[in-house]
Structure 1
C-alpha cells in the first residue's frame, strides 16, 4: 500500500511499505526504481550469529541490515548509502522498526577512500561483519529511471567494493557479498587477493537450473581453502512457490544456514 512521506523525504517520490520476515519488519521503499527484495533478505539472513557490529555498504532503504538486526539482538548496524533519498528512507525505516538504539545511517560512497571513511566515523579494522549487494544491470534489461540506473551500474567497481569492505572489517572479520552468478570470477579474484576461508553458495531458481546469484563469504586474515557449496534452490521443479527452507527464511522463521 502507498504510505505518507516520511519526514524530510522528497515529496514527489511515491513510496510503498513492504513487509519482510513474515511481517516482523515494515520497510518503506520507492514504488518505482530500485527496490530491495529476495537478494537483500538472503544477504541479511546470511549474517552469522555472534557478531556484535555490522556494516552494510550500499544499504539502500536498509532491508538487508534490518533483517540481520531482527535476527540478532546483540548486533548493532551501520548503514552506508550514497543516495540522499535512500539514506533518508533508511533512517525512517530504522526508526519505524524500533531500531534507533542499534543502527545508524552514514551518507557516503561504498568505495570512499580510507581518509573519507575516517572523517565520517567509519573506522578501519572495526566491524565483525561487512555485507554488500553491489549494483548491477541484468543482461538485456535497462534501468527505467536515473535512480535505478545509478543503483544498478558499477562500471566494474566490484573490486573497489571488496577492497572497502575488507578494510572496514576487523582482523578476523567476515565479508559477505551477494551478486550475479556471472560476476563470480571477478568476486573470487577480489576476495582471494585479500581473504581466506572463502565460501561460495550458488543460488538457483529451480532444481537443475543454472545459478543466477551467488553469495560469497570470506574471512579476513584466514588462509583456509575455498569451499563451493551445493546450490540453494529457490523454487520447486515447476516454479510454484518457494522451497520450504527459503519460505522459512522469508517468513522470518529461520536464517540462512550455509555453514
Structure 2
C-alpha cells in the first residue's frame, strides 16, 4: 500500500475511501453535507470541489441509483476520487477542472441537485496552510459568489443547492443567492450552550417559499469532551455511522 495514502472507513464501514495520509483529510463536514441533500433515487447530482469524493460517495450509499458528477481542480485528488468511485461501484464521474471554467460537457448539463463544501477561510483574514491540498480545500481562492453563481446556473428549475459553511459567511451566502430562493438554514452548534459555528444551507432555483431558520442541531453531548471515545449526539451518530438523513432538515 502507498504509505502516502490511507484507506478510511465512513458510515460505520459502509464506505471505505482512499485519501492522503497528510495534508487535507476529510472529516465529518462532507458526511453532514451528504446527509442534508434531499436527493431521491434516479436523480442527478453535481458536486463542486469534490476532493476524494467523500460527500458524493456518502450520498450514493444513502440514496440508490444516483447519477453523480464531481468537479475537482486538483489532479491528484480527482484521481483518488476516480479510484474511490471505481472501488465502490458508484455511478460517479469525476471531472478535473476549476469550477470557474467548467468544461462544455458539464456546462451543457443541468442537475437536480448541486452540493458543495466551499473553502471556509478568507486568506485576507487568516494564514495559509503549508500543505497545498489542505490550503486548496480550506483557503478561499475562488470567490464564494462564484461558487453560488456556478451552482445556480447548473441547477434545473426547482433544483436544490445544499452546502455547508462557516456561520460568519452566512451574510455573504445570502447576498449571493441570485436566482435561488426558498432558503433553509440549519445552524450546527458544537456543544450545548455554544454558538453555532457551522451552517447547512439549502436553496431552490426559482424557489419562492419564505426563508426558514431551523433550531440548532448539537453535534456533541456534554459541555466539554471528557472521555477518550467519541461523544456525538445520538442523531449525529446516526448520520455518521448509519447513513441516516440529516435530522429535521
Verify the 8 A CA contact 2:181 2:203 in the aligned structure 1: yes
Verify the 8 A CA contact 1:201 1:258 in the aligned structure 2: no
Q: Structure 2 stretches of 5 or more lacking a match? A: 226-230
* Correspondence for 2:151 among 165, 170, 177: 165
- The two structures have a TM-score, normalised by structure 1, of 0.88
Partners of 2:214 and 2:17 in 1: how far apart?
31
Partners of 1:67 and 1:24 in 2: how far apart?
9
Match of 1:180 in 2: 166
Q: C-alpha displacement at 1:155, in angstroms?
A: 4.3
Match of 1:104 in 2: 93
CA RMSD of aligned residues (A): 1.8
Q: Structure 1 stretches of 5 or more lacking a match? A: 6-12
Q: C-alpha displacement at 1:197, in angstroms?
A: 0.5
Verify the 8 A CA contact 1:125 1:167 in the aligned structure 2: no
Match of 1:62 in 2: 53
- The two structures have a TM-score, normalised by structure 2, of 0.91
Partners of 2:233 and 2:128 in 1: how far apart?
30
Give deviations 1:100-139, integer Å, cap 9, x for gaps: xx11100111222xxx432xx1135610000000013387
Verify the 8 A CA contact 1:43 1:215 in the aligned structure 2: yes
Verify the 8 A CA contact 2:62 2:243 in the aligned structure 1: no
* Correspondence for 1:38 among 14, 20, 28: 28
Work out whether 1:137 is the aligned partner of 2:126.
Answer: no
Shift of the 62–55 alpha-carbon distance from structure 1 to 2, 3 Å rule, reads: same
Q: Provide runs of 4+ in structure 1 moved above 6 Å.
A: none
Q: C-alpha displacement at 1:223, in angstroms?
A: 1.4
Q: C-alpha displacement at 1:151, in angstroms?
A: 2.2
Question: SS state of the match for residue 48, structure 1?
Answer: coil
Question: SS state of the match for residue 224, structure 1?
Answer: coil
Q: How many residues align?
A: 241
Verify the 8 A CA contact 1:57 1:132 in the aligned structure 2: yes
